[in-house]
Chain A
Amino acid sequence: MTHLDDGTLRRAHDEPLILDAAARAHLTACPACRERAEHIAGDADATGALFATPVPPFDVAAARARVQVRPARLRFLPRRIGLPLGAAAAVAALAVAATVTPAGSLAQSFIDIFQPKQVAVLPVTAQELRSLPHLNQYGVVHPARNVQPQQVGSAAAAGQATGMTVLTPSSLPTGIPSTAQYDVIPSSTSSFTFSAARARRTAARRHLTLPAMPSNLNGSTLSVRTGAGVVTMYGQLQDMSGLAIGQMQAPTISSTGASVREMENYVLALPGVSPQLASAIRSIGDPTSVLPIPIPANLVQTQPVTVQGVSGTEISDNTGMAGAVIWEKDGIIYGVGGTVPFSQVLTVANCLR
């Protein structure tokens, strides 16, 4: 019999039964193969020792809470689109997606138990987004169920699914295809329970100095119910000829234990929340009536605007090639955005019926 090859000897070290009787007999009788087998086994054992560190007990539920929102967000923010355009186009989807993004979830923590009556944009840098603390390091996140969008065939069907009157534009800018795609995002509830023990473990593991957690905060739960939403898409944003219209029932928040203000003070003092972001969130004002919506700083400009007879926010990207507007009316948050100049976006927003 020919000598056993290195690959066979390596596998036989892990799975001795793969050697048939003839191979085993050869290995027993052949000093050269035995010597190689011992050498290979030695390397294998040494490598095994290098990788002997136990794998951490990854928290699948917490990971799912973070990941499950990404498909919904990615669904509305094609990766191929350029950043400035993506930033502007994002705003149309923010009305339905803001509450399920990490920044949105954080911002929502500062809303009180009733539906907010206004929206306010919150410029956030990419660095600030990346450095936001993972809430599961400071408590237990109970994620929302299935927030993935479902496509339906018409505005009427979307309205039936969400209990809203789905607004459609009476006219569209030149170059925007008139065929619409309707995606319904179901309402969902998620919550977060503060845990002093988990915060202590995080501090020890990361060598962090955390703000003192008020005793009544430990075990307090903040529940967020996001309203059902609809995104109506005309054309493709990545093809530079797209327009999106979003509408969502304003979220409602409830809490047990500590006050929302105490929760806000604690979370804003956590490592990873920049002083600038904390200050910006505090400056938004009364959390019971204003919904903060994060937007990418440095990529867009914002200013107040009147839309549908109420106050809203104009958001234009730095290239002037894309724009969006966002507002709240009668308990519903609306957003319109697309790869067209802002003036055309505003025209569409005002002709929604």
Chain B
Amino acid sequence: MVHALRAWDDVQEPDSDFDRLFLREYRRVAAIAYRIVGDADEAEDVAQDVFCSFYRRHDPAAPYAAPWLYRAAAHTALNAIRGKRRRSRREQLAEDPPAVDDDPQQLVVDAERRREVRAAMARLSERSASVLALRYSGLSYGEVAEALGVKIGQVGTLLRRAEAALKKELDHDTPR
């Protein structure tokens, strides 16, 4: 048990640039992926792939680390939802409601909404889907601009187009 407590203490005191980057950015990277895949476990898979990919090629102390991770999270998550091979499993997972909500009717509505949004995101251009995922994960306009490699003044335009495109995709899906 002493070993366990000591190991836990070690976790609280990051001892490398990679550790510090991971502890600082993991939740945000996973959140970006979650906005696209709509499933917590799959979002964590994406986040871990992104961190491993970054580790192999980059210095964890690099100033571009965070924007690189954010953009890669969106890109990897989009690839995941566009992969036909995993689609059926993913859709099944997405239909599993989270345990935090006890209202069965609301759970059904939420699950259906997640499914529709995920399907619509898969059909958007990468840039549109990315800007939505980044912005609605809580990134500021400046952070979104840095992640996408555009000027901050362009983010509003990209976001507006993305929201309009998403609405069009969802309207197209809605039975008349």
* Residues of chain A having any CB pair with chain B under 8 Å: 5-12, 14-15, 40, 43-44, 46-48, 50-51, 53-56, 58, 60-61, 63-68, 70-71, 74, 79, 134, 142-146, 148, 189-191, 193, 201, 204-207, 221, 223, 225, 254, 256
In the complex, residue of chain A having the shortest beta-carbon distance to the beta carbon of B16: A146
- With A63-B48, A207-B96 as known contacts, state yes or no: A142 contacts B8, CB within 8 Å: yes
Interface of B is mostly: helix
Tell me whether A7 and B136 are in contact (CB under 8 A). no
B interface residue count range (under 10 / 10 to 19 / 20 to 34 / 35 or more) = 35 or more
Taking a contact as CB atoms closer than 8 A, the residue among A8, A44, A142, A254 that contacts B11 in the complex is A142
Point out the residues of chain A lying under 8 angstroms from B164, CB to CB: 43
Tell me whether B114 and A53 are in contact (CB under 8 A). yes
Tell me whether A10 and B156 are in contact (CB under 8 A). yes
A46 to B22: give the CA distance in the assembly, Å: 33
Pairs across A and B, CB under 8 Å, 29 listed = A7-B156, A8-B156, A9-B156, A10-B157, A10-B163, A11-B155, A43-B163, A44-B163, A46-B167, A47-B136, A51-B35, A51-B132, A55-B34, A56-B40, A58-B30, A58-B40, A60-B23, A60-B26, A63-B22, A64-B11, A71-B18, A74-B52, A74-B55, A146-B15, A146-B19, A189-B7, A190-B7, A206-B96, A207-B96
Tell me whether A191 and B3 are in contact (CB under 8 A). yes
Q: Cβ of B10 < 8 Å from any Cβ of A?
A: yes
Point out the residues of chain B lying under 8 angstroms from A207, CB to CB: 96
Tell me whether A70 and B48 are in contact (CB under 8 A). yes
- With A7-B160, A142-B8, A142-B11 as known contacts, state yes or no: A58 contacts B26, CB within 8 Å: yes
- With A6-B157, A64-B23, A67-B22 as known contacts, state yes or no: A143 contacts B7, CB within 8 Å: yes
Tell me whether A223 and B15 are in contact (CB under 8 A). no
Tell me whether A68 and B19 are in contact (CB under 8 A). yes
* Residues of chain B having any CB pair with chain A under 8 Å: 1, 3-8, 10-11, 15-16, 18-19, 22-23, 26-27, 30-31, 34-35, 40-41, 43-44, 47-48, 51-52, 55-56, 96, 98-100, 110, 113-114, 117, 132, 136-137, 141, 153-161, 163-164, 166-167, 170
